[in-house]
């Protein structure tokens, strides 16, 4: 039975972190909210799971994954489940918790990136909070991106197995997620991150190495990879971008 991934159609969003793991592993999966890939099922099928009275523990929001009767929500939780099954988790059990901690830290950055364009309320349009967004985005660029990236760069540097991977001596879902985080930030803030590779050479090398992996490269060139856009988490608004301090 195919794995079923539920996420909003037309967006990379948080679902992309799960897609990258599935694509790297060559997993058999369907995108339920994309009609052609799920035999006519669309967003209504996703909403029916979320609102189901028959599901004892319904997910609050996508992404969520169905594996048979099991429904798993929250990106980091999904990847913690999929990692060992897709051979994308550390073989050493203790390191699996390290990987999960890093994934949760990535999730923190994703939330802050979202809040650069929606700093006041998710229910308001960006145009209704542009002044606050500019303040939030510039603080994100000057303070938060460097703080997080310096940490992740240090994790790579201090990995006892070498700086090729975030955890251990083999690719894990954390490396794939780090690629996606960096890729999204480069899209949203190209001016601020113009010298990303100079400041964070290990992270830049990891990003490029993941992008060059055969399954990932094929996915990025396929119509399954949705382009970055201004309805998603990582949005490029020129007025929010600036040269780094």
Output the domain CATH number for residue 56. 3.40.30.10
Provide mean pLDDT across the span 216-242: 96
Q: Examine the domain organization and report whether 109 and 188 are in the same domain.
A: yes
Co-location of 81 and 115 in the same domain: no
Domain boundary at 36, 52, 85, which?
Answer: 85
DSSP 124-156: S-GGGSHHHHHHHHHHIIIIIHHHHHHHHHHHH
pLDDT of residue 35: 59
pLDDT tens digits, one per residue of 36-55: 444 445 678 888 888 877 77
Helix (H, G, I), strand (E, B) or coil at 3: strand
| Boundary of a domain, candidates 63, 85, 107 | 85
Confirm if 166 and 126 have CB atoms less than 8 A apart.
no
Instruction: Kindly tell me the burial class for residue 95, based on how many C-beta atoms sit within 10 Å of its own C-beta (0-12, 13-18, 19 or more).
Output: middle
Secondary element (H or E) of residue 4: strand 3-6
Query: How high is the pLDDT of residue 41?
Result: 54
Q: Which residues contact 136 (CB under 8 A, 6 or more apart)?
A: 115, 116, 119
Q: Which of 85, 110, 131 is the last residue of a domain?
A: 85
Token pair 């890939």 is found at 37
User: pLDDT for 137-146, tens place per residue?
Assistant: 999 999 999 9
pLDDT at 245 over 90: no
Asked if residue 31 is part of any domain, the answer here is yes
**74 shares its domain with 98:** no
Q: Does any domain span residue 245?
A: no
In a domain, 115, yes or no: yes
Could you report the per-residue pLDDT of 149-180, keeping only the tens digit for each? 999 999 999 999 999 999 999 999 999 999 99
Predicted TM-score of the model (pTM): 0.95
pLDDT of residue 42: 67
CATH of the domain at 177: 1.20.1050.10
Q: Is residue 222 one of the residues assigned to a domain?
A: no
Phi (first) and psi of residue 2, to 5 degrees? -70, 145
Domain with 145, as residue range(s), is: 93-213+230-240
Mean pLDDT to the nearest integer, 107-118: 98
Q: How many domains does the chain have?
A: 2
């Amino acid at each position: 039975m195919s794995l079923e991934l539920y996420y909003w159609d037309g967006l990379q969003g948080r679902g992309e972190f799960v897609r990258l793991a599935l694509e790297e592993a060559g997993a058999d999966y369907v995108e339920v909210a994309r009609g052609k890939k799920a035999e006519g099922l669309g967003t209504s099928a996703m909403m029916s799971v979320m609102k189901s009275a028959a599901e004892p523990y319904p997910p609050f929001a996508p992404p969520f994954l169905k594996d048979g009767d099991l429904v798993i929500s929250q990106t980091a939780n999904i990847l913690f489940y999929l990692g060992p099954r897709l051979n994308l988790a550390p073989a050493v059990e203790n390191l699996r918790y390290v990987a999960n901690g890093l994934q949760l830290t990535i999730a923190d950055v994703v939330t802050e990136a979202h809040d650069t364009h929606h700093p006041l309320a998710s229910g308001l349009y960006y145009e209704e909070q542009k002044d606050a967004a500019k303040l939030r985005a510039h603080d994100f660029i000057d303070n938060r991106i460097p703080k997080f990236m310096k940490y992740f760069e240090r994790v790579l540097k201090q990995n006892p197995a070498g700086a090729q991977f975030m955890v251990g001596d083999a690719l894990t879902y954390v490396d794939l997620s780090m690629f996606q985080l960096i890729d999204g930030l480069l899209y949203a803030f190209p001016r601020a991150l113009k010298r990303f590779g100079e400041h964070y050479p290990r992270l830049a090398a990891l990003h490029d190495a993941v992008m060059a992996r055969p399954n990932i490269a094929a996915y990025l060139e396929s119509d399954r990879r949705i382009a970055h856009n201004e309805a998603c988490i990582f949005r490029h608004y020129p007025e929010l971008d600036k040269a780094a301090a």
